Amino acid sequence: MLKNKKSFKIISMPKELSKTYNPKEVEDKIYQLWEKSGYFNPDNLPAASSIKQQVSSYTIVVPPPNVTGSLHMGHALNAAIQDILIRKKRMEGYKTLWLPGTDHAGIATQNVVEKELKKQNVSRHDLGREKFLEKVWEWKEKYGGIILNQFKKLGCSMDWSRVRFTMDEQYQKAVNEAFLRYYKKGWLYKAERVINWCVRCQTSLSDLELEYKEERSKLWHIKYPLLNEKGFIIVATTRPETMLGDSAIAVNPKDKRYKNLIGKKVLLPIQNREIPIIADEEIDMEFGTGAVKLTPAHDLLDARIGEKHKLPVYKVIGPLGKMAPEAGQLCAGLKVLECREKVMVELKNQNLIEKEEDYNHNVAVCYRCNGVIEPQPSLQWFLKMNELAKLAIKAVKSGEVKFHPKNWEKIYFSWLENIRDWNVSRQIWWGHKIPLEGETDVLDTWFSSALWPFATLGWPDKTKDLKEFYPTQVISTARDIINLWVARMIFSGLEFTGQKPFSDVIIHGTILTKDGKRMSKSLGTGIDPMILIEKYGADATRFGLIWQAMGNQDIHWDENAVIAGKKFANKVWNVARFILMNKPSQINTDSNADTRGKNIGENQRGNPSKSAFDEDKEFIKKLNTTKKQVSKQVDTYEFGQALHSLYDFVWHEFADKYIESSKGRNDEEVKIVLNNALLEVIKMLHPFMPHLTEEIYQNLPNKNKEFLMIEKW
C-alpha cells in the first residue's frame, strides 16, 4: 500500500537537460522569469506555510553604492551575502524585503560632472548653481543606474519596485526633518573651527573622510633662538612653511630635557614674533627632538592644544592653497611648496637649520579626489555628538545590536568614546541644501545616508512600509565604514524612531590581491566582477566569492575559486541530468516524506536488498545532517563554511558515493530517494547559486511551487 496517496501524482517526463550547463543560456532567462513573477516584492509573496502561524518580515536595505559607481569585488561579495540571507528567509516563509538604492555621493558626483564639463572648457561657475545641478541630474539619469543593472546580472533578488535614491523628493523631506529636529534640540550649531579643507574640492571634510598616502619627504630640524639669552630650542617639522603662523613651541611636561625652558620665550624666525614655550601632555616626546611648533590655524592637534592654552591664531594659508597676507612679505600669494622653498633658503641664510633627514610620513588627502588637505579655520555647521554617541554605545553594549564578528566592536567603541562634534556642512553644490534661510552649504553625504534604513521606508511619514519593515534585521558591510556609516545609522535610528535600525551588523572581509595588497584600478590590480560573470557565469562568480569568505578574514583573491565554482555547477547539472533520466514511475511531491528517513521502505519496488536499504537510510541521515548544518551556518553568518559543507556533501557523499552505488540498482526506492535528495540539495544550494538551481527546479517532476525561490526551505 502507498501511504499519503494525495501527495503522489503521475507526471509526464520533463524535457531532458542539455549535456552541459551553459550559464549564458540560463542566467538572463531565469532572472527575467523572476522579475516577471513579482516575488522580489514582499507584497506579492504567497502566504506563508501553515507551519509558521504568523508571517514575520525580514528586511535588508542594501548599502547604497555611489551613483557614480560600478560593481567592484567588495560590492559583489556584499551583495552575494545579502542575497543568501534574503533567499533563505524567503524560502522559510518570511515576508522578505531587500531594498535597493543609490547614494547621491555629493563630492564624487560633482567631481565627475565637473570633469565632463572641463572637456568642453566649461566650469560649474560658468554655468551657475541652477544650471550646473541640471547637468548633474542629466548625468544621473544617463549613468546612475549602471550599478543597479549590474546587481541584476549577479542575480540579486532586490525589490526593484522600491528603488530609492538619496536625492528623491521623499528622501529630501526626511533629511530636512532630521536637520530641523537636531537644530530645535540645540544640537546643531555654527562655529569657526579648524577643519580639514580640500583645496581641490573647495569644501570641508570630516576626519573619517580622509585617506592617507605615504610620502617621501624631509624632517627639518630648525633652531628657534631663545629670547634675551643665548641658545636655541630645536624643533623638528615636515612643514616648515607653516612656521610663519606659529603661536608657540610645545614640549611634554615630563620631558626632562626642556624642564628649564618651559615658560620662556623664543623669537620666531622670519616673522620676528615673540612666542612662548609651553608644556602639554599631548606632545609626543619620541617624535623628532621632542619639541614641536604649534600652528593652531593649520593643524587639528595644534588647534586643540592652542585652544586649551588660549594661543593666538595666525591664518597663513588660504582656501585656494596659497599663502595668505598673514604669511608676510616673503611668501604672501605663493603656492605652499613655493613658500616652503623660500622659507628654507631664508633659514639657511640665517644659519638656523640644524640638520635635515629623509623621512617617510602619511599625508592626508581627500577620499574622493585625492587632493591635498590643508587644515584651516572655517565657519561650519557642527552636530553635537555626546548624547548621540551614548545612544550608539549603549545599543551595542546592551546586545540590542550585535557585531559579527564581535571583535569589530572595538573600532566602533574606540571612535564613539573619543568622538568630537561632527562637521556636517559642505561647500559644494550637489547635495541636500541646509534647510535654513540664507544657507548655501549642503550637508555631508553621510548625514543623509545615516537615515537610510528608515528614510527609505517613508519616514518621517508613518507609512505602511515603515510599520511593516522597520526595524530591519541585518546590515552587511566592510570594516572601513563602521564609523562613517554603521555607527551613524545606529544613533540616527534610535534618535528619530526610538528603535534600533537593525539587529545584526555583518562585517565581511576585504578582497585583496593574491599577494595581499589592496586592489587598485589605477594600478591595474583591480578585478571587474562583470568580466568574471561574462567568463564564468554569475553563479560561479558568487561561488568563488563566498568560497573564500571564511569568517572575517581578508580574502587574497584567487580566480581558481571561480573556476572551481564553474566545475561545481557542471557537477550539480550532471547529477540532476542523471537523476531526471532515471525518475521513478510515481513522484512524491511531499519532498520531506522520504528524506526524513521515516517509512523508507513503504514505496519500494524491485525489492532492494537489506544492504541497499541500509545504504539509503545512511545517505538520508547524512543529507539531513547537512541540511541542519548548512541552515545553522547561514543563520550564524558563516557563509563560506556553509558553502564548503554543501560542496563536500554534494560532490562526495551524493555524487561520488550514493549516485555511483545506485547505478547498480534498478528499484523504485533508490529513484525516489535520488529525486527527493536532488530537490533538497538544490533548495540548500539555491541562495548560493540561484540561476543554476532554479533552472534545474523548472525541470523537476516533483516540484511543489512555481519557482524554487519560493519553495519551502
Is the domain spanning 205-366 CATH 3.20.20.80? The answer is: no
Cβ atoms 427, 204 nearer than 8 A: yes
pLDDT at 608: 62
Nearest to 113 by CA among 147, 67, 169: 67
Q: Strand, coil or helix: what is 57? A: strand
Q: DSSP states of 224-235 as a string?
A: EEBTTSS-EEEE
CATH for the stretch 5-22+537-710: 1.10.730.10
> In the structure, what pLDDT confidence band is assigned to residue 369 with cuts at 50, 70 and 90?
confident
Cell of 416: 564613539
Whether residue 44 is predicted with pLDDT greater than 80 in this model: the reply is yes
Q: How far is CA 374 from the centre of its chain?
A: 28
Residue 69 pLDDT > 90: no
Q: Are 247 and 312 in contact (CB under 8 A)?
A: yes
C-alpha cell at 146: 549602471
Complete edge-to-edge strand list for the sheet that includes strand 422-423: 203-205, 188-198, 376-383, 422-423
User: Residue 588: its pLDDT value, please?
Assistant: 58
- The whole-angstrom separation of Cα 659 and Cα 662 is 5
Cell digits of residue 443:
550637508
Is pLDDT larger for residue 8 or for residue 88? 88
**DSSP 3-state percent helix, strand, coil across the chain (nearest 5):** 45, 20, 35
Kindly tell me the burial class for residue 344, based on how many C-beta atoms sit within 10 Å of its own C-beta (0-12, 13-18, 19 or more): middle
- Show Cβ contacts of residue 538 under 8 Å, excluding neighbours closer than 6 positions: 23, 27, 153, 154, 155, 691
Angle at 521 (CA atoms; ends 558, 480), nearest 5 degrees:
80
- Residue 55: what pLDDT? 61
In what helix (H) or strand (E) does residue 361 lie, and over which residues does it extend? strand 353-366
Please spell the DSSP secondary structure of 408-461, one letter per residue: GHHHHHHHHHT---EE-EE--SSS-B-SSTT---EE-HHHHHTTHHHHTTTTTS
Q: How far apart are CA 335 and CA 331, in angstroms?
A: 8
Task: Identify the CATH homologous superfamily for domain 38-182+406-508.
Answer: HUPs (3.40.50.620)
187: nearest Cα among 422, 351, 465: 422
* Domain(s) of CATH 3.40.50.620: residues in the chain: 38-182+406-508
Residues 389, 417 contacting (CB under 8 angstroms): yes
Q: Where in the chain is the domain with CATH 1.10.730.10?
A: 5-22+537-710
| Average pLDDT estimate for 555-578 | 97
What count of other Cβ atoms lies within 10 Å of the Cβ of residue 596? 14
pLDDT at position 433 over 60? yes
Q: Is 296 helix (H, G, I), strand (E, B) or coil?
A: coil
Q: Cα(405)–Cα(399) distance, rounded to whole angstroms?
A: 13
pLDDT at residue 587 in the model: 61
Contact call for residues 508 and 552 (beta carbons, < 8 A): yes
Measured CA distances, 147 to 141, 157, 280 (Å): 13, 14, 50
Instruction: Output 704-709 pairs: Cβ under 8 A, ≥24 positions apart.
Output: 704/589, 704/591, 705/46, 706/37, 707/33, 707/34, 707/37, 707/39, 708/682, 708/683, 709/34, 709/39, 709/87, 709/90, 709/91, 709/157
Tens of pLDDT, residues 499-551? 999 999 999 999 999 988 888 776 778 899 999 999 999 999 999 999 999 87
CB 503 within 8 A of CB 471: yes
Residue 251, H or E segment:
strand 248-251
Q: Is 97 helix (H, G, I), strand (E, B) or coil?
A: strand
pLDDT at 656 over 70: yes
95-99, strands of its sheet edge to edge: 95-99, 57-61, 474-478, 504-508, 402-404
**Do 108 and 368 touch, CB atoms closer than 8 A?**
yes
Which is more confidently placed, 368 or 515? 515
**Has residue 591 got a pLDDT over 70?**
no
Range(s) within the chain of domains with CATH label 3.90.740.10: 205-366
Mean pLDDT throughout 433-445? 95
Which pLDDT band, with edges at 50, 70 and 90, does 61 fall under?
very high
Rounded Cα distance between 162 and 145, Å, is 14
